[in-house]
Structure 1
Amino acid sequence: MSSLDLIRLFLAVANERSFTQAARRLDITPTAVSKGVRALEKKHGVQLFVRTTRSVALTDAGGALLAALEPAVGQIEEAFAELARFQSRPTGHIKLTAPRSFGFLLARVLIPRMRAAYPDISIDISLDDGLVDLVTAGFDAGIRLGQAIAQDMIAIRLSRPLSWSIVAAPGYFAQHGIPETPQQLLQHRTLRYRFATSGRLPPWTLTGPEGEILLDIAAMLTANDTQLLAEWARQGLGIAWLPDLEIDEDVRRGRLVRVLTQFVPDTSGLFLYFPIRTQNQPKMRALIEQVALVADEGALDVKCARWRDGRSAGDMN
């Protein structure tokens, strides 16, 4: 037996004042209890118990050992109880990846809720518009638009569909005219988003009376950052396709104008996604819980609705 096993055995006999009762408490045989006590006494060269056919009593040495061990064992039990609390109280570090355009939205809505509910979880957010391999890059989870999430990931909805717009500066439209149909965009200078990972330029997907319209327009300027595209649009360098949350303030102040709004569909909303094998980690369950609450309460949808309501103020079509 190990020293810890012998301590447990000694305490059981000392508290029960019976080898038989101690054996039942420890779920071992009385013979094993007797052998363990003898081994402990032999190891330390002192007698710990006075045994008779009717009773078991502590010697002075046994009493002194019991008085010394009980507080220490109490501390050990408290230490293991603390470990159990760690199991029920999520702790650790969560590393998240999210698009740049939605970083401030997460900072305002999701992250404060996580910090309030689970202060023992630290969070690190990396803003990146490109597609990210969570496992390879060392992320616990990511937040992306639904259509950008790989099929082998678990995805949990964070918001309703988000609205986007085709915009340009008033000066650009004054010089080059206002497109009245999607096909007329082919004659305009466009500012295109480029995926950081693949380098691909996603086509502009619109809808019309006859269904979906895919426009792969020659780009005058490209970038892998929507904030940069918005800045170029404000400078009158061309027409851009941007999320409303990026350009809502510009539209309200007249720096940008929306066109062809009736042809622009909403995109899928934001989703939290992560590998299936990580979903049972306490820290991930905590994150999933807060994402579900945000989605159920529509905390992000309220902001998205405000952006959509503001579209009419700057529409030109």
Structure 2
Amino acid sequence: MARDDLTDLKAFVAVAEERSFTRAAARMGVTASALSHTIRALEERLGIRLLARTTRSVSTTEAGDRLFRAVGPHLEQIQGEIDALSAFRDTPSGTLRISTGDHAAEMVLRPKLARFLPRFPDVQVEVSIDNGFVDIVGERYDAGVRLGESVSKDMIAVRIGPDWRFVVVGAPAYLAHRPAPGLPRELTAHRCVNLRLSSAGALYAWEFEKEGRALEVRVTGQLAFDSIFAVLHAAVDGHGLAYVPEDIARPFLASGQLVSVLDDWCPSIQGYHLYYPNRRLASPAFSAFVETMRYRPGE
């Protein structure tokens, strides 16, 4: 196989997986027009149409689907073996793609990246922020970050942060004109700021537990965001009650800009874990990343 053939096949697989020239081009670091030219040249060389293009979508033809199913897994294996060759380099190198929510990115990944990046200057880390549940295998991430209780059993999970909890908070000005809720069900009488899970599209249900009794409350209000930090700031601004991680609310609670309610209904939950497929071939760069992220109490 000529080198150009392998490059063109990688381009075809990227488009087939993304079903978009724009997304595939961004993934490969080329322009959409250059990628379209590459695919057209491959089709002309083979004498077969591989992709059906419309103004809104791209899909594989019958021949394209057969080619995709035949070569896709092999190209992934080849890339994995090439990545593994970095073990013979003096220092780890390569690109790592991590999917995480904004809270974990700021409170867990950010401080640890400050140690990791200077130590491994040949490793590039791409962090994608998404507060929903992401298919890291289908979306081709090296790993994801999720609360320990939410990690699938077929994944390897490494704890990267301590236990923590959500708290219900509101501005004193907001609570000055209405009684604070004493039970979770009383939240339905309040304006609340919602968090929308971007991948699922659903609003996050507030979760409570006390004396073995667990319940969820779906709240309403005028505002919803897909960032937990925006939810927090909306509460600071007096737009309603918010359900946020205690660590990011702590400075505002200490300053008196926020007060907490329903504390006895807000238990601790398992900390964040880095998770990845158990069949993943760990490169030196990925192994170094996992060890840097690993939670060590007292650090």
Q: TM-score range by the shorter chain?
A: 0.5 to 0.7
Deviation at 1:168, TM superposition (A): 0.6
For 2:279, which of 277, 280, 285 is the aligned residue?
Answer: 277
Partners of 1:284 and 1:108 in 2: CA distance = 17
Any conservation in 1 of the 2:86–2:93 contact (CA below 8 Å)? no
The residue identity in structure 1 corresponding to 2:284 is P
Partners of 2:273 and 2:175 in 1: CA distance = 35
For 2:217, which of 197, 200, 215 is the aligned residue?
Answer: 215
Say which structure is richer in helix. 1
Q: Which residue of 2 aligns with 1:92?
A: 94
Any conservation in 2 of the 1:159–1:298 contact (CA below 8 Å)? no
For 2:266, which of 264, 267, 272 is the aligned residue?
Answer: 264
Q: How does 1:216-231 map to 2 (within 5 A)?
A: 216-231=218-233
Q: How does 1:61-72 map to 2 (within 5 A)?
A: none
Worse-matched range after superposition: 189-198 or 103-112: 103-112
SS of 1:227 mapped into structure 2: helix
Equivalenced residue count is 215
Partners of 1:121 and 1:175 in 2: CA distance = 53
Deviation at 1:92, TM superposition (A): 1.2
SS of 2:208 mapped into structure 1: strand
Any conservation in 1 of the 2:235–2:242 contact (CA below 8 Å)? yes
Any conservation in 2 of the 1:131–1:148 contact (CA below 8 Å)? no
Q: How does 1:1-317 map to 2 (within 5 A)?
A: 86-87=88-89, 89-106=91-108, 108-209=110-211, 211-292=213-294, 295-299=295-299
Deviation at 1:289, TM superposition (A): 1.8
Let me know the Cα RMSD of the aligned residues.
2.3
Deviation at 1:240, TM superposition (A): 0.8
The residue identity in structure 2 corresponding to 1:296 is R
Any conservation in 1 of the 2:86–2:284 contact (CA below 8 Å)? no
SS of 2:180 mapped into structure 1: coil
Partners of 2:171 and 2:89 in 1: CA distance = 55
Deviations 1:269-311 (A, max 9, x none): 011111222243222211222223xx12443xxxxxxxxxxxx
Deviations 1:82-122 (A, max 9, x none): x8873564221112222112323345421122224433222
Segments of structure 1 that go 5 or more residues without pairing to the other structure are 1-82, 300-317
Deviation at 1:169, TM superposition (A): 0.6
Structure 1 residues 161 and 84, CA gap change in structure 2 (3 angstroms): closer
Partners of 1:210 and 1:135 in 2: CA distance = 35
Q: Which residue of 2 aligns with 1:314?
A: none
Worse-matched range after superposition: 217-226 or 248-257: 217-226
Partners of 1:242 and 1:199 in 2: CA distance = 19
Structure 1 residues 202 and 147, CA gap change in structure 2 (3 angstroms): farther
Q: Which residue of 1 aligns with 2:22?
A: none
SS of 1:249 mapped into structure 2: helix
Partners of 2:298 and 2:243 in 1: CA distance = 25
Any conservation in 2 of the 1:278–1:284 contact (CA below 8 Å)? no
SS of 1:137 mapped into structure 2: coil
TM-score after normalising by structure 1: 0.62
The residue identity in structure 1 corresponding to 2:126 is D
Partners of 1:297 and 1:284 in 2: CA distance = 22
Of structures 1 and 2, the larger Rg is shown by 1
The residue identity in structure 2 corresponding to 1:161 is D
Partners of 2:97 and 2:266 in 1: CA distance = 34
Q: Which residue of 2 aligns with 1:66?
A: none
SS of 1:241 mapped into structure 2: strand
TM-score after normalising by structure 2: 0.65
Partners of 1:130 and 1:216 in 2: CA distance = 17
